A and B are shown apart, each in its own frame.
Chain A
C-alpha cells in the first residue's frame, strides 16, 4: 500500500481495480452511517431520475403514434409484461409492477455504471442480496399463502420414479435455498468482474510513459478496454434480463408448484 501511495511520484503502474467500488459520503470524509448521503445515494437517485425521464416524461405525450422515447418505454413495458405472462403465467400479472421495478432498477443501474467514473450500485452484494432475498421471501410466502402445504409439492417431483423422489426432494430443497445466493451473486459478480477487469486494463494503458514495451502494451490495453466495454454493455442488459426472468421462474413455482 505504501508503495502505491508513492507511485504517483515514481514511474510505476498503479493498480486500484477495487477502489471504484468504495462507498463514500458525498460531502466530507466522515464515517458512513445508515442515512449518510453517499455515492450510492447519488447513483441510485440518478437511476430513479432516468427511469422517471423514460417512463413518465417519455410517455407524457400519450400519443397513439409514439415518439422515439415513448416507443422505448412501451418496448420495456411490453418486454417485461410478456416475460411475466409467458414464464409465470397470466395469474402472475398482478405482480408485474414489482418485477418491472426490479428490471428497471437493475438495467438502469448497470448502464449508469458504464459511465466512466460512475459508481455501479448493482456491483455490490449488499444491493443484489437484498433484492434476491426479497424475491425469495416474497415467492416463498406467496407460495404458502396461495397453495398452503401444497406448495411443498414443488420439491416432490411426481414425474420421477418413486424410489428417486426422496433423493430428488433433498436436492430440490437444497437448490431452493441456494436460489437467493446464486440469484444475487450472479448479478453482483458479473458487474464487479467486468468493471474490475476494465480497471486492470486501464492500469496498463500508461505503460508507454514508462518503457519501450509500452508501445506494444498501451494499444493492446486500449483495445482490450474497448472490447471489454462492449462486452459489459451486453452483460449489463443480459444480467438484468437474467435476474428478471429468474424472478419470473421463481414466481411460477409459487403460483403453480406442481411440475
Chain B
C-alpha cells in the first residue's frame, strides 16, 4: 500500500515499512538475527574476559583479604583477652600474696611485742622483788637500831632517874636491870 508511493531503498527491509514502522514483531525478523547473534557473542566474550580475568579474581582477593583481616583481628582480640585474663590472675595472686605477707608480718610483730613485753615484765618483777628485799632488810636494820636505841635511852633514863633520886648506882647493875625489864 504505502510502499508503492515510496522509493525502493526505504522498503528494502521486509520487517520495516516505508514509514519506518515495524511490520509485525521485530523480534521475528530473520534479517537482523545474524547481526544480533554476532554482536551478542562478541559482547558475551568481552564480558567473560573482563569478569574472569580482572573483576572476579580481584573481588575474590578483596573478600579473602577482608576475611583474613577479620580472622586476624578476632585472633588478636582473643590474644588480648587471654593476656588480660593473665594480668588479672597475676594481680589477684599478688594481692593474695601481699595479704598473706601482711598477716605474717602482723603475727610476727605481735609475737615480738609479746616477747618484749614478757621480758620487760619479768625484769620489772625481778627489780621489784630485789627492791622489796632491800627494803625489808633496811626495815629490819632500822628496827634493830631502834631496839638498840631504846635500850640505850632506857639505860640513860634509868641512870638519870636513879641519880636524881640521889642514889649512886653503878652502871652495870642498871644495865642488867634494864635488860631484864626489856626482856620481860
Determine if B51 and A126 form an interchain contact, defined as CB atoms under 8 angstroms apart: no
Determine if A31 and B22 form an interchain contact, defined as CB atoms under 8 angstroms apart: no
Pick out which of these stretches binds chain A: B60-68, B98-106, B112-120. Answer: B60-68
Instruction: Give bound CA distance, A5 to B13, whole Å.
Output: 18
Kindly state the interface size class of chain A when it binds its partner: 35 or more
Instruction: Give bound CA distance, A92 to B32, whole Å.
Output: 35
Chain B interface mostly? helix
Which residues of chain A in 1-40 are interfacial with respect to chain B, using CB atoms and an 8 Å cutoff? 1-2, 4-5, 16, 18-19, 21-24, 29, 31-36, 38, 40
Instruction: Give bound CA distance, A22 to B61, whole Å.
Output: 43
Pick out which of these stretches binds chain B: A66-74, A157-165, A239-247. Answer: A66-74
Contact of A23 among B2, B12, B26, B42 (CB under 8 A): B26
Determine if B19 and A97 form an interchain contact, defined as CB atoms under 8 angstroms apart: no
Taking the complex as formed, is A237 at the interface, i.e. its CB lies under 8 A from any CB of chain B?
A: no
Chain A interface mostly? helix
Of the A-B pairs whose beta carbons lie under 8 Å apart in the complex, a sample of 9, sorted by A's number, is: A16-B21, A33-B35, A55-B51, A55-B54, A77-B63, A96-B56, A125-B28, A126-B27, A131-B44
Q: How many residues of B contact A (CB 8 A)?
A: 52
Contact of B29 among A23, A47, A74, A98 (CB under 8 A): A23
Residues of B within 8 A of A22 (CB): 15-16, 20, 22, 26
Instruction: Give bound CA distance, A55 to B31, whole Å.
Output: 34
Determine if B34 and A34 form an interchain contact, defined as CB atoms under 8 angstroms apart: yes
Instruction: Give bound CA distance, A40 to B52, whole Å.
Output: 24
Q: Which residues of B contact A (CB under 8 A)?
A: 1-2, 9-10, 12-13, 15-22, 24-29, 31-44, 46-48, 50-52, 54-56, 58-63, 65-66, 69
Residues of B within 8 A of A205 (CB): none
Q: Which residues of A contact B (CB under 8 A)?
A: 1-2, 4-5, 16, 18-19, 21-24, 29, 31-36, 38, 40-41, 44-45, 47-48, 51-52, 55-56, 59, 62-64, 66, 70, 73-74, 77-78, 96-98, 100-102, 104-105, 121, 123-127, 130-131, 188, 192
Instruction: Give bound CA distance, A29 to B46, whole Å.
Output: 28
Determine if A101 and B51 form an interchain contact, defined as CB atoms under 8 angstroms apart: yes
Residues of B within 8 A of A56 (CB): 50, 54-55, 58
Instruction: Give bound CA distance, A62 to B35, whole Å.
Output: 38
User: Known: A125-B27, A126-B37. Is A101-B44 also a contact (CB below 8 A)?
Assistant: yes
How near does chain A come to B168, taking the closest CB pair, in angstroms? 145
Residues of B within 8 A of A59 (CB): 55, 58-59, 62
Determine if A21 and B36 form an interchain contact, defined as CB atoms under 8 angstroms apart: no
Instruction: Give bound CA distance, A200 to B122, whole Å.
Output: 125
Instruction: Give bound CA distance, A45 to B50, whole Å.
Output: 13
Contact of B59 among A24, A40, A55 (CB under 8 A): A55
Determine if B62 and A44 form an interchain contact, defined as CB atoms under 8 angstroms apart: no
Instruction: Give bound CA distance, A21 to B35, whole Å.
Output: 14
How near does chain B come to A195, taking the closest CB pair, in angstroms? 11
Residue of chain B at shortest CB distance from A134: B44
Contact of B35 among A23, A73, A125 (CB under 8 A): A23
How near does chain B come to A209, taking the closest CB pair, in angstroms? 21
User: Which of A1, A38, A78 has most B Cβ within 10 Å?
Assistant: A1
How near does chain B come to A165, taking the closest CB pair, in angstroms? 39
